[in-house]
Structures are given as structure tokens and as C-alpha cells.
Chains A and B, each alone.
Chain A
Amino acid sequence: MHQPTSPTRRGAMALLAAGVTVALLPRPAWAQLSAATQAAVDRIRGSRTPQEGRITLRAPPIAENGNTVPISVLVDSPMTPADHVRRIYVFADKNPTPDVATFTLTPALGRAQVDTRIRLGQTQDLVVLAEMSDGALYMARTEVKVTIGGCGG
């Protein structure tokens, strides 16, 4: 969970303190996923190893209300018939079930971006997988701190 406080991390924290929604730093790849999320990721990736990069995952660093947390996923892609993003998968690592959404994209979009609002039951990592038209997989994750959880009754 703990990582050294780098200058860029401090910069992100300063923005956080200013209440700005920032594109958060990717979590280290070695940070372990919950068993349910790992199983879901494994089902998608098969024998492929997801690469880092190309995904900009935006979410508030602190969500006061876990019932409605705005997220935005932007993937760097020309979105041509020959080279586009085919799917974007979103998981919430510590929700009762990790699945959040699967987006199916086409070159007609012109840009690979999706925005929605999600529920987070507790402070946890968001995990995003993007599958390209050539089968390449990219992965990103970021932590969202949740003040009031959004899954219970």
C-alpha cells in the first residue's frame, strides 16, 4: 500500500488539497489485486500480459459520497479501423463484486473516451483494462478514498 513520496506524488497531493480532480499517478504494478478482481482480470487477459501506459484514468482522489463517483477513461488511440480501442473494462477492487462496466468502442467515435458515475463501497483502487484492435492489453489503476461508502443500505 505504501509508496515513497516522490516529488510528483507531492505535486499530486498539492492538487488534491486544492480540491482539483487530477489524473492520478498509476499505482505500482506490484500492488496486489483482490482475488475477485484478479480472477476477472485473468478471464479477460488469458495469456496476455497487460502493459502500462496509454490510459488516462480520472477520478476524484477523495470521494465524499461513494454512491456517485465520477470517472473518466481516456485511451491514447487514433481510433481508425486498423488501430482502435475495442473494449474498456472497469473494476472496483474492493466492491462486493468488482465488475463496474464494460464499454464496447468503435472507430466511429473518433476518440477513445468514456465517462460515467460509479458506486464505491469503501476506499479502494479502480482498475481499468483497455483492449486494442490488435489484441494488445493496457492496464491502469488508481486509488479513490471514500468517506461514505456507496453499496450498503
Chain B
Amino acid sequence: MASPIGQPRVRLPAQARVGEVIEIRTLISHAMETGQRRDQAGNVIPRDIIKRFEAKFDGETVFAMDLAPAISANPYIAFPFRVERAGRFEFTWTNEAGDSRSATHEIRIAG
């Protein structure tokens, strides 16, 4: 049983100048169970990780990450983005069971 994917938290500016490179910071609540740990009874706790993160801007994939169990619990992922126009980001986290969770953010052009 995969544990549920927690609430995503995304930080990025609501607006930016054309050509500005912004930083997008993301955090998702998840245990990232490695499959290496044992419970108190000595049984291996099954592996359960977020395996993929994808960032789309207006439907086009601009950044992706494949995660291994060596990524810390509650994965933190940050990356830049050069703003050329207003648009809509969609961020999606997917676990090894194929369940996913998404968050969307709009960005405007300043001024």
C-alpha cells in the first residue's frame, strides 16, 4: 500500500518581468520510504517513493526529475525558469504505484 501523497507547497512569484529568471521552489509531504528500513518486529518496511516530478508551463514540459530512495523525506525540489510571457504552471508528483498529485500556479507579467 502506497502512502498518500501529501499537500504540495510551491513558491514562485505571482508576477515577473519579461526575461527575468525566477526560482521555483517545491515541497511535497511524503515519507520516501527507502525499502531499507525495518519496523520494530523486524519486518522490512516496503519501499514507497515519489518517483517522478514534472513541471509544465502552458502544457509543455519544462523540467522533470526522476527520484530515487536517496531523496530525503518530503522532497524539496527547486529550479529556475525564464519568464517570457504570462501563463500557467502545472506541477505533478507521481509515486511508484502510479498515483499522482498536482498543483497549478499562474504567473503574470509585471507592469
Contact surface of A with B, Cβ cutoff 8 Å = 67-70, 79, 92, 95-97, 99-106, 108-111, 113-120, 150-153
Pairwise interchain contact A102-B66, C-beta atoms closer than 8 A: yes
A contact residues around B75 at 8 Å (CB): 116-117
Q: Name B's interface SS.
A: strand
Number of residues on chain B facing chain A (CB within 8 A)? 30
Q: Give the residues in chain B near A104, CB-CB below 8 Å.
A: 61, 63-66
Question: Quick one: which of A113, A119, A153 contacts B71, CB cutoff 8 A?
Answer: A119
| Interface contact A119-B69, CB-CB below 8 Å | yes
Closest B residue to A117 by beta carbon equals B72
Chain B residues lying within 8 Å of A79, measured Cβ to Cβ, are 82
Can you list 6 A-B contacts (CB < 8 A)?
A: A105-B79, A110-B81, A113-B80, A117-B71, A118-B71, A119-B71
Residue B70 CB within 8 A of the other chain: yes
Within 8 A of A (CB), among B52-100: 57, 60-73, 75-82
Closest A residue by C-beta to B34: A151
